[in-house]
Amino acid sequence: MIVDLPDTTVSKITRALVDVREEGGAVALGRVLTLIILTREGALEEVIEAANDASREHPMRVIVLMIGDSGAADSRLDAQIRVGGDAGASEVITLSINGEAGNSNLESLVTGLLLPDAPVVVWWPNKTPDVPSATSIGKIAQRRITDAATKSDPSAWVAALGGSYAPGDTDLAWTRLTRWREQLAAILDQPPYEAITAVRVRGASDSPSTALLAAWLRLALDVPVDWAYLDAEEWPHGIKSVTLVRESGEVKLERPESGVAVLTQPGQPVHDLAFPRRTLRECLAEELRRLDPDVLYGRVITQGWELLGPPSSTEDAGRKV
């Protein structure tokens, strides 16, 4: 069910929500959190679809804020309510804000729509403030989600994450590393139990996850990490390879193509592993599983990043792969 509310107010939206629940039998009592999404109009359906899919694991109320032309003479708030089959296991409220309303405190627009006594998560899927925790919306949230992959300069965004970090912050570039981190941890848990003396990490130039993986390995293993971005001709997207140097030889986890990884270890058969790129829905659902601060992420973008050092040059990276 979709209900349009043109030129409306927050109080009218609240009353409409009550009417929709009474009419359609939708109940908000089972919602576990409120997800606030700040996005642009062109990306609206993509982020709502990801939230709807994630809501099947985390029933929630979704509030989508779209800030239009703040200089428009006509100050107005348009809203839309989606429930039932149009909203997964959630309630979706979209707020399109134009004119002077866009210059007001956004917190005041959503306060009356928040679920009582439920955690608040804020997600910026594209345009993100420099310090998310300092914004009016960020201040009311337990978790704040950004996405370095959507930035015009992902590597610069990742480099600045530590300077703006506050407990509760996270970035989907970190979430996309879960499979890599799990596989590398499994390798280290298996014999031979030899010390790692050095690490090499390679990834595409548009992959902010490459830098975060290198920082995590530098922090976790406390050994030198040589990392670099490859040219698009060498590798187009995402992380390409991780090499762990041991006395008995090198352990290499490498993707020869997207969706597949090859694990090579001294004295063992070569293993082919399924390594598909993680979807937006998977990453969002994972982040919503925890509502407490991700302490490890905070340490990686602060302590790990300070220890890591700059990337190798493209020429050096090509020789060392």
Query: How confident is the model at residue 70, as a pLDDT?
Result: 57
Query: How confident is the model at residue 104, as a pLDDT?
Result: 61
In terms of residues, how long is the chain? 321
192, with CB counted inside 10 A (0-12, 13-18, 19+), is exposed
Residues 103-120 have pLDDT tens digits of: 567 888 899 899 988 999
Q: For residue 196, report the phi and psi dihedrals to the nearest 5 degrees.
A: -85, 130
Query: How confident is the model at residue 69, as a pLDDT?
Result: 61
Query: How confident is the model at residue 73, as a pLDDT?
Result: 58
Contacts with 138 (C-beta within 8 Å, 6 or more apart), sequence order:
122, 129, 131, 132, 144
> Whose CA is closest to 153, among 161, 144, 164?
161
CA distances from 290 to 161, 260, 285, 286 (A): 20, 28, 10, 8
169 SS3 class: strand
Query: How confident is the model at residue 26, as a pLDDT?
Result: 52
pLDDT along the chain (321 residues), means of 10: 90 90 61 91 88 90 84 78 76 86 73 92 93 94 95 92 96 96 94 93 94 97 96 92 96 94 94 93 94 96 96 65 51
Query: How confident is the model at residue 83, as a pLDDT?
Result: 86
Residues 31-87 have pLDDT tens digits of: 789 999 999 877 888 999 999 999 888 889 999 999 876 555 577 899 999 987 766
User: In this structure, what token pair is assigned to residue 118?
Assistant: 């439920």
